[in-house]
Amino acid sequence: MDIKYSVLYFTWKLTEIRGRVFVSFAVVRMQKMKSPDLKGMQFHNQRERESRTNPDIDPDREHLNYDLLHQEKIDYNQQVKAIIESQKVSERKTRKDAVLVNELLVTSDRKFFDGLDPAEQKRFFEESHKLFSERYGKQNIAYATVHNDEKTPHMHLGVVPMRDGKLQGKNVFNRQELQWMQEEFPKHMQSVGFEVERGIASDRKHIEMSRFKALTLNEEIKTLEKETEALRNALTASKKVDELQVTKPSLFDRNHVKLPVEDFEALKARAKAKEANERTIEAHEKRFDDMVDNVIDSDRKLDQEKRKTAQLQKENNGLKKENLDLQKENKTLKSQLNVLMEFAKSQLEKFKEWQKERQQEKENNIARKRDQELER
């Protein structure tokens, strides 16, 4: 292989790496929320009562969060109720177990956001909001909160699934709609200038936030593995120094070889590229190790959450059983109380009757005495 061809091949490989491997994913996830969920989501999104044990949140960056729709904090229940009441055509009350909000979590990987300045990052979320507002109705968007105080910027977009004057969560966000989101969201973001591709298919049920973060990190790890492998291949290609054509040393200069200037310059360029690539690989390996640690940490936290949930479920089941026992006991006591009340009522009636008879007897005795005195 000619030295010029080697350099061209090396340059082409780097271009291929930049063009094919270093690609980020456009990610959108949907979560159903019922009435009891809204207050907790409000606390989280607006950082009202955020747990300080959450390692993903940096309190010093909380001021960087914002909402695309609201300047001040809002009451989620009131906001959602207002959206529903302004459109519903039936007088029937909303079911307690109805899905009131379908929250979309919009994001990409951290590397993607690191490559954007603050204005472009905000435009990413504005364009996302624009797409979904047009799709589901601007009037149905309850909030659009952007978090910049966690490891990866993301937006919580609350959609009230109103259609034809009533809540229709199952119809608005059916399987076909989720497929549409996965296909069209990245296409839209590409059309407005963002280099993203389709993320993980979303034909699965909702996953917990910890699991989602772990999956996102896994995606980044796979990408880094491809990047590192491609760089190693490019580095291998750049090591073919033995293909340089050199001139045999002369009689008086046995410790040096001669080579054309253009080959010497190409060799220097290759050496610099090798050094740069080694640094890049080193950085990628460090980032890879960090991500593996993050995945392990996320899985550990997920296991803790599962155990905690199982414990709470067990306690909840115990409370439910206790509640049923109390209900049965209450029912028995009510029944006994009713019997006692009926007995007391009957006794009271008998007492009144007896008292009435006594009074009548008394009056009769008085009348007899009066008649006897008159006869005398």
Q: What is the DSSP string of 248-307?
A: PP-TT-TT--B--HHHHHHHHHHHHHHHHHHHHHHHHHHHHHHHHHHHHHHHHHHHHHHH
Determine the 3-state secondary structure of 70 from DSSP: coil
| pLDDT number for residue 104 | 97
Give me the domains of the chain, ranges plus CATH numbers.
24-194 (3.30.930.30)
d(Cα 4, Cα 243) in Å, to the nearest integer?
A: 10
Residue 194 has pLDDT above 80, yes or no: yes
Predicted confidence (pLDDT) per residue in 49-88, tens digit: 755 556 778 889 999 999 999 999 999 999 999 999 999 9
| pLDDT above 70 coverage of the chain, percent | 69
| Contact indicator for 195, 23 with CB cutoff of 8 Å | yes
| pLDDT number for residue 14 | 37
Residue 189 has pLDDT above 80, yes or no: yes
d(Cα 26, Cα 176) in Å, to the nearest integer?
A: 18
CA-based Rg of the chain, rounded to a whole angstrom?
39
Residue closest to 102 by CA, chosen among 163, 161, 46, 167: 161
Classify burial at 344, counting beta carbons within 10 Å of its beta carbon; exposed 0-12, middle 13-18, buried 19 or more: exposed
Determine the 3-state secondary structure of 46 from DSSP: coil
| pLDDT number for residue 42 | 94
Report the relative pairing of strands 162-163 and 154-159 from DSSP bridges: unpaired
| pLDDT number for residue 279 | 74
